[in-house]
Amino acid sequence: MIANVIVDVPAKQTNRTFDYIIPDAMRGWLAIGSRVGVPFGPRVVQGFVVSMSERADVAASKLKPIAQVMDLVPPLTPELVELARWMSRTYLCHEITALQAMIPGALKAKYERYVTLGGAADEEAAAQGFGQLSFDNRADIAAFVRSKEHVPLEQLLERFAGDGALIQSMIKSGELLEVQTIKNRLSAKKVLVVYPPEDPSVLEACVSKLPAGAKRQKEVLEHLIRNPAPVRLTELALELNVGAGTVKGLADKGWIGLRETEVFRDPYAGREFKRTQPLPFTEEQAAVFEPIQAALTAVRHEVFLLHGVTGSGKTEVYLQAIRQCLDQGREAIVLVPEISLTPQMVERFKGRFGSEVAVLHSRLSNGERYDEWRKIALKQVRVVIGARSAIFAPFTSLGLIIIDEEHETSYKQEDSPKYHAREVAIERAIRHRAAVVLGSATPSLESYYRASERDDRSGAAGRQAGPGGSPFAGVNAGRAAAVAHPSAYRLLTMKERVQGRPLPPVHLVDMREELKQGNRSMFSRPLYKAIEERLEKKQQVVLFLNRRGYSTFVMCRECGHTLGCPHCDISLTYHQSSQTVRCHYCGYAEPQARTCPSCSSEHIRFFGTGTQKVEEELGKLFPGIRVIRMDVDTTTEKGSHEKLLTMFRNREADVLLGTQMVAKGLDFPDVTLVGVIAADTVLNLPDFRAGERTFQLLTQVAGRAGRHELPGEVFVQTYTPEHYSIVTASGHDYEAFLEEELRMREAGGYPPYYRLILITISHEQIPMLVRTAESLVGHIKELLLRETDGSDDAMVLGPVASPIPRIKDRYRFQCMIKYRGDSQLPSLIAKAAEAFDDVCRQHNVQIGIDVDPQLLM
Ligand SMILES: Nc1ncnc2c1ncn2[C@@H]1O[C@H](COP(=O)(O)OP(=O)(O)OP(=O)(O)O)[C@@H](O)[C@H]1O
Ligand SMILES: [Zn+2]
Ligand SMILES: [Zn+2]
């Protein structure tokens, strides 16, 4: 048998399988999805077995055997291997890149180089034996390596520091051999566990055999007779105050077992989760649950879009759907945006399903994440809740995938593989005949559109988009729907909050008016009064500041000079805690200057309304106010996020002030006021989704108020109170927003009417960049012309400078392709780009392709 292996060398030439012989010893347990080490040129590299075949494409004599198998249980399933192939086609990435994205970081290969004695060493030693004077450490090095059998290269270089050149020449001459192997970055944590015999009474006989002086050992045995459960050696030693040697002595006699045993690093160890029971559904919950249940029962693939206002009880629907799925003996994945994956969220799932739940998110240590993942692989859990990459949980009988806050941009990965978790979820669900529930109070336009297509077809009240002044004249709504995906979603709606609690009234405050009235503070008078009132009543306030696009840049008041990153065309951001200015794109940092580097004036200040500044102003306006600030600066430390939220819940603060982090999913009973400091910051970004993002954020953040007995109220400060995103968000009117936004999208030729591909080209020098960009785009245009006969089904825009024209010392150009109908287009574009592979390699040009981009930077 031959194993077909994808090797860990991400390059175009290696983006295919290579054949290897399966050694006899591996036959039977090597499987599709196994991670292996294989000889590749002079090295051993990691790879994944993606298929097996009877015979190879090349002559058997040329084949090499697999060198090592990395895991007892293959980390990937055949389904995931197939999914990787789909990802590589869909997102135009190397298959190995997709495979690597599916396994935890701890399993990423760590290559270790060893040195052993080579065949030439003996001759050399013999030659030296003939009294030849040796002026170097050659003999010592050989002896050292011989004594160790094999030595990590670093260790050898450390031991014989200064002999690097000599060691190199010994490798060249064959005296030493360099060998490469693969190790995991991290391994399972093992501890020594004491195993008393199955029948502990046999230990009584042992006690009598002990010499009279062995008091300690006697104590241990007697303890084990009374407590016959396996116990960690360290725990036992601590409890009885004996040395580990005492216990080991008993194991040496063969009376008790002492074995290395794997343990799981459990981030939630020792935490009690209060068990919760299913709540009786509200009418709306019952209505949306019914079709989900039906699909589960029938083991039928179907995608549901659950559009439920904030506080309508979507989570309870998820929980009961999961219960149903588990009762059928199947497994469930719940995706939640990283920042909403709060302890509160985890608690709701652990509370219902206890130890059946594994949690995966980036705040776990590498080891913890690996162990949570192993629980899934070893089938010790059946529910996983996690951020984007949890979609790759190696379950084998998936019944249900839930994506909460499905509109969130964080579901799209910005690095290769540039996948969207929602699409990957649907792809997996099709293979498992599983149900998918996409939940949101503000569904993405793409999803909502896909759900309404189904309405149109079934004759229900469908929305009709007018042709308007579209540049694609003659494209009517029906025609535009040609972007249609093969399967439409089923729309489920919940319009009411649980227990008839009202959605909070939203007051728009026109900040231009405030300025006219002489108020130059960042707090309008109505918001000021509302905060004052809450402080008096001892209720809590959430203040939201959208940081994106509102950077705290540093500017000189004398000459207008702004501090920019020396490597990127973007202004540096001021960080108070470390007194530094930093670049958010490349990580560059420098101490905050006291004088202007351009004119030496001392009037250099940071600008913009950062959270730190809001905090300061709150302190000035309301002396004694207790503020918890939650932003990237205050949540870097592990567990800090959780700590801050717990403090707020325990009423140790009056105000929770923060960025996006406070907008999502939080549920605090005493919050009766939500204030949005500036609603329009996102609106000014050069992004066609600016309106959608604004609507989503305002709706989410408003949804934090009045979720329990106390009624809530929301104040939104804005400079553009007439903008449709802000108006419709204040009226909690998703449909009205949708209608307006769809009109804009159709007019602009944007999703959901057209799909996008963003090509970014970068180089250190502008002339080379322009040349390559223009010839690449010219090539693409030609190709498209040939393929589409010049219809308006595809358009190529650009090349133009990217919104951020330089990052990490590389200049950037972009080209946008808008298309509809033809799903073959991405591969066509990939082919066009491939023609530039040689140019790219020779001149160090980079071409990045993003299918369905979420960010246009
Ligand atoms: N059937 C029910 N009976 C009583 N209370 C319920 C019921 N369903 C949900 N709740 C409660 O209503 C509150 C809001 O529910 P939940 O958090 O699930 O809403 P949601 O739609 O997920 O909200 P959001 O999108 O704002 O996060 C919670 O405190 C929840 O415990
Ligand atoms: Zn930078
Ligand atoms: Zn200056």
Residue owning the nearest CA to atom 1 of ligand 1: 281
Ligand whose nearest atom lies closest to the CA of 282: 1
Looking at the domain assignment, is residue 288 inside a domain? yes
Residues 436, 292 share a domain: yes
Question: Which amino acid, one-letter code, is at 141?
Answer: I
Which letter, b or e, does each residue of 685-717 get, where b requires 16 or more Cβ atoms within 10 Å of its Cβ? bebbbbbbbbbbbbbbbbbbbbbbeeebbbbbb
Q: Among the three residues 696, 720, 747, which one is the final residue of a domain in this structure?
A: 747
pLDDT at position 260: 77
Same domain, 625 and 709: yes
Q: Identify which of 667, 714, 734 to mutate to test ligand 1's pocket (most ligand atoms within 8 A of the CB).
A: 667
What angle (nearest 5°) sits at the alpha carbon of residue 54, between those of residues 50 and 57? 75
Expressed in angstroms and rounded, the spacing between residue 139 Cα and the centre of ligand 1 is 75
600 lies in some domain: no
Q: Which residues line ligand 1 (CB under 6 A)?
A: 279-282, 285, 308, 310-316, 441, 498, 665, 667, 703
Domain interval for residue 163: 112-122+132-184
Q: Are residues 627 and 675 in the same domain?
A: yes
Q: Does residue 153 fall inside a structural domain? A: yes
Task: Looking at the structure, tell me whether residues 227 and 170 fall in a common domain.
Answer: no
Ligand 1 pocket, mutate which of 284, 312, 315 (most atoms under 8 A from CB): 315
Domain count across the chain: 6
The amino acid occupying position 636 is T
Q: Which of 760, 749, 758 is nearest to 820 (CA)?
A: 749
Burial class (CB in 10 A: 0-12, 13-18, 19+), 582: middle
Q: What single string gives the DSSP state of each residue in 652-680?
A: --SEEEESGGGTSS---TTEEEEEES-TT
Of 712, 705, 726, 695, give the one whose Cα is nearest residue 662. 705
Measure 564 CA to ligand 2 centroid, in angstroms.
8
**CATH number, domain with residue 41:** 3.40.1440.60
- Residue 266, domain member (yes or no): no
C-alpha–C-alpha distance, residues 545 and 448, integer Å? 27
Distance CA 215, CA 116 (A): 49
Residue ranges for the chain with pLDDT beneath 50 = 126, 129-133, 455-485, 549-550
Is 840 annotated to bind a ligand? Reply is: no
Residues 777 and 833: their CA atoms lie apart, in Å, by 9
Q: Kindly give, in sequence order, each residue whose CB lies less than 8 Å from that of residue 824, ignoring residues fewer than 6 positions away.
A: none
CA distances from 18 to 1, 73, 97, 655, 772 (A): 13, 22, 16, 60, 33
- In this structure, the answer to whether residues 215 and 80 fall within a common structural domain is no
- In the Cβ-directed half-sphere of 774, how many Cα atoms lie within 13 Å? 6
| 93 assigned to a ligand binding site | no
Pull the structure tokens for residue 585.
């794109």
**Cα(671) to centroid(ligand 1), Å:** 16
Closest residue CA from atom 15 of ligand 1: 313
Claim to verify: residue 420 and residue 519 sit in the same structural domain? no
Q: 659 alpha carbon to ligand 1 midpoint, in Å?
A: 23
The ligand 1 atom at the shortest distance from the C-alpha of residue 282 is 1
- Residue of 282, 316, 334 to mutate, ligand 1, most atoms within 8 A of C-beta: 316
Q: Which atom of ligand 1 is nearest to the CA of 308?
A: 21
What is the value of ipTM here, to two decimals? 0.95
Residue 574 lies in a domain: no
pLDDT of amino acid 270: 61
- Ligand number, closest to the Cα atom of 664: 1
Tokens of 391: 């979609």
Region for 379 from its dihedrals, namely left if φ exceeds 0, alpha if ψ lies in -120 to 50, beta otherwise = left
| 525 within 8 A of 675, measured Cβ to Cβ | no
Q: How far apart are CA 834 and CA 812, in angstroms?
A: 19
Atom of ligand 1 nearest to the CA of 281: 1
Is residue 583 part of an annotated ligand binding site?
yes
In ligand 1, which atom is closest to the CA atom of 348?
Answer: 31
Is there a single domain that holds both residue 799 and residue 739? no
What is the model's pLDDT at position 361? 82
The token pair that represents 605 in the structure block: 């200040």
736: Cβ contacts below 8 Å, ≥ 6 apart: 724, 728
Same domain, 156 and 168: yes
CATH number at residue 786: 3.30.70.360
Report the C-alpha dihedral over residues 349, 354, 357, 363, rounded to 10 degrees: 70
Q: How far is the CA of 606 from the centre of ligand 3 (A)?
A: 13
Q: Domain ends where: 726, 747, 768? A: 747
Closest residue to atom 16 of ligand 1, CA basis: 313
Which helix (H) or strand (E) segment holds residue 126: the answer is: helix 120-129
Residues 101, 26 within the same domain:
yes
Instruction: Tell me the three state secondary structure of residue 419.
Output: coil
Considering the domain boundaries, does residue 531 fall inside one? Answer: yes
pLDDT at 854: 83
Burial class (CB in 10 A: 0-12, 13-18, 19+), 254: exposed
Is 559 contained in some domain? no
* Residue 586, annotated as binding a ligand: yes
Q: Are residues 327 and 412 in the same domain?
A: yes
Answer with the one of 716, 747, 778 that is the final residue of a domain. 747
Tell me, yes or no, whether 159 and 204 share the same domain: no
Q: Is 159 exposed, middle or buried (0-12, 13-18, 19+ CB in 10 A)?
A: middle
Q: Where are the alpha helices (DSSP H) in 505-639?
A: 511-516, 525-537, 611-621
What is the pTM (predicted TM-score) of this model?
0.79
699 is a domain residue:
yes
Same domain? 251 vs 356: no
Distance 809 CA to ligand 2 centre (A): 8
Q: Is 206 annotated as a binding residue?
A: no
Nearest residue (by CA) to ligand 1, atom 26, is 310
List Cα–Cα distances, 715 to 525, 526, 564, 677, 712, in angstroms. 11, 8, 34, 8, 10
Which one, of 518, 506, 465, lies nearest residue 742 by Cα? Answer: 465
For atom 24 of ligand 1, the residue with the nearest CA is: 310
For residue 193 the two structure tokens come to 């566990």
Task: Please tell me the number of the ligand nearest to residue 669's CA.
Answer: 1
